[in-house]
Each structure stands twice: as C-alpha cells, then as structure tokens.
Amino acid sequence: MYLIAGLGNPGKQYERTRHNMGFDTIDELVDRHRIPGSGVQHKAMYGKGMIAGEKVILAKPLTYMNLSGDSIREFINYYKMDPETELIVIYDDIDLEPGQIRIKKKGSAGGHNGMKSIISQIGTQNFYRVKVGVGEKPAGWDLADYVLGRFSTKEREEVDKAIEEAADAVEVILREGIDAAMNKYNAKKKQ
C-alpha cells in the first residue's frame, strides 16, 4: 500500500493558492480514479482506493503546511509503512517555473516548511516526491505572502496542466517505478 500525501492548507481562503499544489493534485487523483472519501483520520482528509493496480491512501493533511509531518507520521505508524518505498509527497516548489514538475527519490527540505516537518517527524529524507512548480517569488515580496497568493490567469492554465501531469507522474511511479517516472518527467523541458 502507498500513502500519497498532497501538501497544502485547509480552508476556503487557501484554495487554489500556490502553496496548495499538493491538495490540488490529490483532488485530481480522487476525481480521476473515483476514490471515495473515508473522512478524517490521522489529522487528514483521506480516501482509500486503487490506482494502477496498487492499493493507495490519498491524504490531505489538515494540520496546516508547517505541521504536515504530524499527519504523515501517524499514517505511516498506523499502517506500518516503509516511508522510503511507500510514501509519495506532492508539493509546491518555488525553484520550478509554473507548469513544470520534477520527480525525486529523496533530498533535503530545500527550505520548504512542510517538507522540513515531514523529514523531522518520520526521521528520513529518503522518500518519493512530486514537485509542482509555482515560480520564484518576486524581489521584495514576503515568501509567505507569495506562496499563499494566487496565480495569474495565464499561470493558472499552465499550473492546471502541471497538476494533471503530476497526477500522471504518480500513476507512472505506481505502475512502472520511480526511475521510470524520473526518466519520463524530469527530462521534459518547458516549451
């Protein structure tokens, strides 16, 4: 079984913000695979189902971004999962342009507070990630204001395509493995 966790912040005021790329990608996977909601458990909204022949739990932690690790740790402990092979985290990345995605097997938090929380709580940085680009913050902007802001109409079109591509990438990870997904999606350059 895989835990696929999309990072974001709960509440209407955060919907469709840059920081909610993980939530948006989970919503895409839920719609695409008709994953029924199972309610709230382990500080997350979640659903269980099948994707690409694999049992999955799709989770949106309700802890707010900076405490995402609390929820993910609870899932991993409860279901006795190996985070190094059974956890996929989807989140926003300011180092990628809007519309780009990047798949990684492991790595540091890279300054992302949600990822810092997860690494701290589960005790490893060796887990799969799907990053969705939101673009670099403009000079003079506060980072929190930027990531909690919304996209321009043009950027939103590109980001919506990237969310679909991130969902595709999760399917490839489940069906063919992380290396296949990295080869397919990391080689792509924005046109």
pLDDT tens over the chain, length 191 residues: 999 999 999 999 999 999 999 999 999 999 999 999 999 999 999 999 999 999 999 999 999 999 999 999 999 999 999 999 999 999 999 999 999 999 999 999 999 999 999 999 999 999 999 999 999 999 999 998 999 999 999 999 999 999 999 999 999 999 999 999 999 999 765 54
Is residue 139 one of the residues assigned to a domain?
Answer: yes
Identify the CATH number of the domain in which residue 55 sits. Answer: 3.40.50.1470
- 134 close to 21: Cβ distance less than 8 angstroms: yes
Q: Residue 86 in 3-state DSSP?
A: helix
Residues with a catalytic annotation lie at 19
Is residue 190 one of the residues assigned to a domain?
Answer: no
Domain of 60 in residue numbering reads as 2-185
Is residue 30 one of the residues assigned to a domain?
Answer: yes
Is residue 98 one of the residues assigned to a domain?
Answer: yes
User: To 5 degrees, how large is the angle CA 15–CA 21–CA 26?
Assistant: 90
Is residue 191 one of the residues assigned to a domain?
Answer: no
Phi, psi of 64 (to 5 degrees): 75, 155
- 65 close to 7: Cβ distance less than 8 angstroms: yes
Is residue 42 one of the residues assigned to a domain?
Answer: yes
Number of domains in the chain: 1
Is residue 129 one of the residues assigned to a domain?
Answer: yes
Residues annotated in a binding site: 14, 64, 66, 113
Is residue 33 one of the residues assigned to a domain?
Answer: yes
